């Protein structure tokens, strides 16, 4: 039962952590991040960092692994937002 | 210790679930969702639904509450994407 829980958690985490990847690809391709809210990206970085801490407290591997990855992807997105925004 | 864990989990969940709100507000204000990847939104809906299921399996309230909310916000975002995309 624990193994299947972990599998569900990993599937959930892979989905939410890979969600930003098509957005990053679209932004890099179009070199345009005008419609992207910088607040969304910053809040996601803080949120995934806090989830990672929660995962450490609860010793919950799916949460830890997928949120570290998610935090990294959001940092890349923030870099794209700064680089491609026309201001 | 359990209470403080729950607080950390709730903070994490509130951050990641409210992250899409500035994006939704920005999209509604600008009536423009061209730069938003529909794949991101669809994957987030699937991911938060799976996280909710994981929360139920692990009986983890912070995960359940915040992912139900997050799933709802992403459904609103998907509606905006469909409504405001110029095709």
**B contact set with A (CB within 8 A):** 5, 8-9, 11-23, 25-27, 30, 32-37, 39-41, 43-44, 46-48, 50-51, 53-54, 57-58, 60, 62
A-chain CB neighbours of B6 within 8 Å are none
Mutate to test the interface with A, among B4, B10, B16 (most CBs of A within 10 A): B16
Q: Which structural domain range is residue A46 located in?
A: 2-84
Separation of alpha carbons A57 and A66, rounded Å: 15
pLDDT, averaged per 10 consecutive residues of chain A (87 residues), comes to 81 89 88 85 93 93 93 93 79
Across the interface, whether the CB atoms of B8 and A54 are under 8 A apart is answered yes
Q: What is the pLDDT of residue A35?
A: 79
Smallest Cα–Cα separation from B13: which of A51, A2, A12?
Answer: A51
Q: What is the pLDDT of residue A87?
A: 54
Q: What total number of domains does chain A contain? A: 1
| Chain A nearest C-alpha distance from B87 (Å) | 16
CATH (domain of A65): 1.20.1280.290
* Tokens (6 digits) for B59: 């009986």
Q: What is the pLDDT of residue B86?
A: 67
- Say how many Å lie between the first and final Cα of chain A, rounded: 52
Mutate to test the interface with B, among A3, A11, A17, A23 (most CBs of B within 10 A): A23
Candidates B18, B39, B50; nearest CB to A8: B50
Residue whose token pair is 């985490």:
A13
Q: For chains A and B, what is the number of CB pairs under 8 angstroms?
A: 121
Q: What is the pLDDT of residue B40?
A: 85
List own/partner pairs for B65-73 with CB under 8 A and 24 or more apart. Answer: B65/B10, B65/B13, B66/B9, B66/B10, B66/B12, B66/B13, B66/B14, B66/B16, B66/B17, B67/B13, B67/B17, B69/B13, B69/B17, B70/B13, B70/B16, B70/B17, B70/B20, B70/B44, B71/B45, B73/B17, B73/B18, B73/B20, B73/B21, B73/B24
Taking only the tens of pLDDT, chain B with its 87 residues reads: 566 888 999 999 999 888 888 888 988 998 888 878 888 899 999 999 999 999 999 999 999 999 999 999 999 999 998 988 765
Separation of alpha carbons B42 and B77, rounded Å: 10
Q: What is the pLDDT of residue B69?
A: 93
Reduce the DSSP state of residue B86 to 3 states and report it. coil
* Tokens (6 digits) for A64: 């830890």
Q: What is the pLDDT of residue B2?
A: 61
């Amino acid at each position: 039962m624990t193994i299947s829980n972990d599998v569900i958690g990993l599937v959930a985490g892979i989905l939410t952590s890979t969600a930003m990847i098509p957005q990053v690809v679209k932004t890099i391709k179009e070199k345009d991040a005008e419609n992207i809210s910088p607040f969304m990206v910053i809040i996601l970085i803080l949120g995934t960092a806090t989830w990672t801490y929660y995962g450490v407290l609860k010793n919950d591997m799916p949460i830890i692994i997928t949120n570290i990855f998610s935090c990294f992807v959001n940092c890349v997105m923030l870099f794209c937002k700064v680089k491609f925004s026309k201001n």
